[in-house]
Structure 1
Amino acid sequence: MSRPKKKRNSELSEYEDDDSDIAPKKEKSKFSGSEEKEEEKEDLRNNVRVYCYTFCTVYLLS
């Protein structure tokens, strides 16, 4: 029995080459970027809550 032949780089499609090389890098950077954006969004939400509560309190007391 003979071994199955391995594909050469020239036989692989461009998509397969690009996908195997680039996809893992994109996932890592995408994850770290989305994590930072979530933290920023949470900070903004907290700031908006504080401003709204402060405004409502001042408005109701005056």
Structure 2
Amino acid sequence: MNFEQLNFTMFCVGNVADALKMSAGNVYRLLRDSGILMEYIVPGYDVLHTFGKDYLVEDIVSYMKEKGVLQ
């Protein structure tokens, strides 16, 4: 993971945490443990970073629900 991907990952984690009213640490663990972080966010950086914050948050939360991470 390069610096840009790390920065983007932290941006995603922080904004998803805000949207879900959860701690960033908890959201990070959920994304890491579910595989979303390393199987979706990091490899999808080139495309995902071109989208706006609201779309990204909605997309990640939706994917978390789809994978059973959230209800």
Give TM-score, length-normalised by structure 1. Answer: 0.32
Who wins on radius of gyration, i.e. which is larger? 1
